Structure 1
Amino acid sequence: MKDLNDLRRDRKAAADKMQSTAAMVGTLEAAETIDQAALDAAVADFEAAQTAFASADGAVKRAEAVEAAQAAAATSGDQGAGIAGGTGGRASASGGATVPATASNPEHRGVAAALMVQALASSRGNHDEAVRRLETAGHSGLSAALSGASTDAGGVTIPRAQSAELIEMLRPRVAVMNAGARMVPMPAGQLRHASQQTSATASYGEENAPIRESEPTFGSSDMSFKKLTSLVPIGNSLLRHSSASMGQLVRDDILKVMGLRRDLAFLRGTGANNTPIGLRTWTPASAWMPAVGNTAPAVEMAVRGLVSRVEDADVQMTRPGWIMRAGTKNFLASLRDPASGAYLFPSISQNGTLLGFPIYTTSQIPDNLGGEGDETEVYFADFDEVMIGDTMEITVSSSTEASFVDVNGDTVSAYQRDLTLVRAISEHDMAPRHDAGLAGLNGKGWTL
């Protein structure tokens, strides 16, 4: 069975045949002496090519419709098919409430938002044109959702249902989110919550004696929008196709660049230049161990010490875990007991845990810290104590004329390279409810 690309090639071949036979007909008709037999044959060839093109074009459109449906289809009931991203649903048994639609293919999660981004990029940010493109491509549910999206000078805001799905897909790419930090919507742009600084006390006393009072003290942890922008260059030839596979490509590019930067901010952000404050800065100085050596006894004492510091702070340990570089995890897995030769932490290789707590790895933790450039960081926390506030929206704008600086520091012209630059903006912040739930260390020589 031919796939969509094969069908498109067949359609292109039929179109080329129409062009060549039409040229032949024109040449024969322009001749001083018309060869009627040859002209009739050329006309017949043109009509055959025209029929072949119509057939191939129909096959392509059917295949594109199927692929579009796979990208946007959802479970449906009596009220018809729903569209992935929350634009449809099915009636419940009671007849009143509805059950939200769910994507039929897990691989297509986030594709709805990506197709909207793709349509906006193809139309150079023109909102109405993007809606028309989605409708023409068979994504009527997405076009309806995008038609109600808000627009401003910064671009077009992807509707919350589709944006939330894309943002949720960042979780496995951002270590702090993956470890279990709580996601909290911040629709008003700011979130304030209390953090307990000292606890109340209890005491024994004589019968009928007045009970001694004690008062816990509280502070506040404020979160406000921190704007993360990402720039994704997309080839214009790709933007001409609105298939699910192209949507997946756009989706993955957006997730990659936004995930890496968010990961770094949530771990090592200092709050400078309107960036989030990360775990390293939030961790109390008393809970951070500097320059721990890499001998087996020193390493074991240090990692057990981190756990003790969090547990001794009466943290609930609801979602405890570690965050470190993959090289650090492999270093710890290779450590052996000096006396017996047995692996010091065999659970790392067996089930990815250290002292019974899961390990999450990221390349966003440096391994060249310290005066000698051989230190890295290890974080331990109850991630249930960490809160991430998010607007749950992504704003998109595009340009075909702008330039950008690539990872090598070179300036690249989008116009010269036939690219469209897609700028995506999301807003979020992070803060712990109780910073006693955080601990960490600098490991000297803790990488392989």
Structure 2
Amino acid sequence: MDDLNDLRAARKKAADDMTAKAAALQAVEDQDGATDDAVAGATAAFETAQKHFAKLDGQVKRAEAAEAAQLAAVAPEAGSGTSDDASPRVAAMAKEPGLRFGATLRVMAAAGGDGDRAIRIAEAQGMSGLIASQNVSQGVKGGIFVPEDVGDEVIELLRPKSVVMGLPGVRFIPMPNGNFTQNRRASGASFGYGEENDDIAVTGYEYGQVKLSAKKLSGIIPISNDLIGMASTAMDRMVRDDALDDAAAAADLNFLRAAGTDSAPKGLRWQLLGTTAAATNILTMTAAPDLQKVDDDLGRLELALMNANVDATGAHWIMSPRVAMYLTNLRDGNGNKVYPEMSDGRLRRKPVHVTTNVPDNLGVGGNESEIMLVAPRHIMIGETGGMNVAMSSEASYRDSNGNLQSAFSKDETLLRLIMQHDIGLRHLLAVAVLTGVTWGAV
């Protein structure tokens, strides 16, 4: 039987090839005037790649089953420190998503990134099979690649913690080679009636392209060495939650407002800048706001989407805590709340997402904020598979105040987490922004 590592690597390569063939087939089908031979050739290529993946997937599953059987058949050696209930403990982690991730990071940190030593530490802590069964492989630059199933589990936990990634309907696109390009549409498909021999109307027209390229999101989590050696579920949760919370906050900050560079994505706020969509969908708050003007400005955002044939009923609001509190407390002349549904996280029958990643200190006076209304199904987030983690007890890092700290002198181990992704809009007019918002400002 082939080595399980090699089989998994081959399956990943086959999956990437199948994704590429699927994209190629889609591109051919989207081309105006594509020949039947071209479509048939692309279809055959995809089907061949699909069969190859299915074959390798079957081989991996058989090898995993055989490995699991061998692990179950091996009795703990005397003096190994492995408890009788080791395997049940690891199995129980599956009941709480992400717990294996936290335990894996903690054990690998305790082992200094040494896989063999990590196996022994896990066994000594009653977690036999945590590292061996998950098959953590050595990565580049001293890091490790978190196993695919554990990484996917963590990403599924990360998405709802992020405002942007947690929006229902957002399209997650795999980027096997770190890049993805698709034609952007200015409107939906075009249909019409005609005579028998009339040309059929083109199904939509191009308005540039949305190009996604992998941008590296990285973060450092310092953990006390006094805690790393503790075989504690609470500690595993803390490692997991720190990684998820920090990664979600960083992703939101960039997905919402990053200006867009070679190393950072262009946030939703700036996707429209420099396009014709800016004139209709980047709006300014009406001066000297009162109850009627506030209501009208919210309606202007909805109308911007509706005029572009975007379903505004499925849109979501994104705003700062200050603006959200203002709308929650806003009352009419009779003392009644104008938007009572804000207490339930909704505004004008649409969900509201509140985040400090929308600032309140914009503008010349430093008291302005912004509100975004977005249609999630037009948001595309490209993801490059794999999550890389590196550990160091000697490196330095900067704390929240910008001061340089030494992990060695503070008796800490640093975990560096790296993921790669990008964000784009398939339809530019699916986002509307109200700028210069002073609602609730003192």
Q: How does 1:132-211 map to 2 (within 5 A)?
A: 132-180=120-168, 181-198=170-187, 210=198
Q: 1:189 to 1:145 in 2, by over 3 A?
A: farther
Aligned-pair CA distance for 1:414: 0.8
Equivalent residue of 1:333, what SS?
A: helix
- Root mean square deviation, CA, Å: 2.7
Mapped to 2, the partners of 1:359 and 1:316 lie a distance apart of 16
Counterpart residue number, 1:362 = 355
Aligned-pair CA distance for 1:179: 2.1
Structure 2: unaligned runs, 5 residues or longer: 1-78
Mapped to 1, the partners of 2:146 and 2:185 lie a distance apart of 37
Query: Quick one: which amino acid aligns to residue 405 of structure 2?
Result: V
Q: How does 1:220-235 map to 2 (within 5 A)?
A: 220-235=209-224
Q: How does 1:257-296 map to 2 (within 5 A)?
A: 257-283=246-272, 284-285=277-278, 286-293=280-287, 294-296=289-291
Counterpart residue number, 2:296 = 301
Mapped to 1, the partners of 2:100 and 2:313 lie a distance apart of 34
Q: Give yes or no for contact 1:318–1:384 (8 Å, CA) kept in 2.
A: no
Q: Which moved more, 1:117-126 or 1:412-421?
A: 117-126
Aligned-pair CA distance for 1:137: 2.5
Query: Quick one: which amino acid aligns to residue 164 of structure 2?
Result: V
C-alpha distance after superposition, 1:214-237 (max 9, x if no partner): 563223212121001100000001
Mapped to 2, the partners of 1:178 and 1:443 lie a distance apart of 26
Mapped to 1, the partners of 2:229 and 2:290 lie a distance apart of 57
Consecutive aligned runs of 4 or more in structure 1 exceeding 4 Å deviation: 198-205, 207-215
Equivalent of residue 342 in structure 2, options 334, 338, 348: 348
Query: Quick one: which amino acid aligns to residue 347 of structure 2?
Result: L
Mapped to 2, the partners of 1:155 and 1:319 lie a distance apart of 41
C-alpha distance after superposition, 1:362-401 (max 9, x if no partner): 1111100011111111111111111212234221111111
Q: Give yes or no for contact 2:187–2:309 (8 Å, CA) kept in 1.
A: no
Equivalent residue of 1:272, what SS?
A: coil
Q: 1:200 to 1:263 in 2, by over 3 A?
A: closer
Query: Quick one: which amino acid aligns to residue 411 of structure 2?
Result: D
Mapped to 2, the partners of 1:292 and 1:154 lie a distance apart of 54
Mapped to 1, the partners of 2:355 and 2:258 lie a distance apart of 15
**Aligned residues between the structures:** 354
Aligned-pair CA distance for 1:183: 2.5
Q: How does 1:22-421 map to 2 (within 5 A)?
A: 65=85, 69=88, 72-73=90-91, 103-104=94-95, 108-180=96-168, 181-198=170-187, 210=198, 213=201, 216-218=204-206, 219-283=208-272, 284-285=277-278, 286-293=280-287, 294-317=289-312, 319-338=314-333, 340-349=334-343, 351-421=344-414
Q: Which moved more, 1:431-440 or 1:314-323?
A: 314-323
Aligned-pair CA distance for 1:147: 2.8
Mapped to 1, the partners of 2:150 and 2:190 lie a distance apart of 48
C-alpha distance after superposition, 1:78-129 (max 9, x if no partner): xxxxxx5xxxxxxxxxxxxxxxxxx32xxx3211111111122112222322
Query: Quick one: which amino acid aligns to residue 339 of structure 2?
Result: F
TM-score (structure 1 length as normaliser): 0.73
Query: Quick one: which amino acid aligns to residue 426 of structure 1?
Result: M
Mapped to 2, the partners of 1:226 and 1:239 lie a distance apart of 30
Structure 1: unaligned runs, 5 residues or longer: 1-57, 75-83, 85-102
Q: 1:212 to 1:113 in 2, by over 3 A?
A: closer
Aligned-pair CA distance for 1:295: 1.9
Aligned-pair CA distance for 1:266: 0.7
Aligned-pair CA distance for 1:212: 7.9
Aligned-pair CA distance for 1:238: 0.6
TM-score (structure 2 length as normaliser): 0.73
Aligned-pair CA distance for 1:346: 1.8
Q: Give yes or no for contact 1:131–1:147 (8 Å, CA) kept in 2.
A: no
Query: Quick one: which amino acid aligns to residue 344 of structure 1?
Result: V
Equivalent residue of 1:429, what SS?
A: strand
Mapped to 1, the partners of 2:184 and 2:146 lie a distance apart of 34
Mapped to 2, the partners of 1:389 and 1:425 lie a distance apart of 15
Mapped to 2, the partners of 1:255 and 1:201 lie a distance apart of 43
Q: Give yes or no for contact 1:116–1:146 (8 Å, CA) kept in 2.
A: no
C-alpha distance after superposition, 1:36-78 (max 9, x if no partner): xxxxxxxxxxxxxxxxxxxxxx9x986x957x845x325xxxx
Equivalent of residue 429 in structure 1, options 402, 422, 431: 422
Query: Quick one: which amino acid aligns to residue 425 of structure 2?
Result: P
Equivalent residue of 1:252, what SS?
A: helix
Q: Give yes or no for contact 1:291–1:375 (8 Å, CA) kept in 2.
A: no
C-alpha distance after superposition, 1:151-199 (max 9, x if no partner): 2225101011111111221223211122222333333322223321355
Q: Which moved more, 1:240-249 or 1:311-320?
A: 311-320
Equivalent residue of 1:430, what SS?
A: strand
Q: 1:406 to 1:273 in 2, by over 3 A?
A: farther
Query: Quick one: which amino acid aligns to residue 287 of structure 1?
Result: N
Q: 1:213 to 1:239 in 2, by over 3 A?
A: closer
Mapped to 2, the partners of 1:253 and 1:208 lie a distance apart of 64
Larger Rg computed on CA atoms:
1
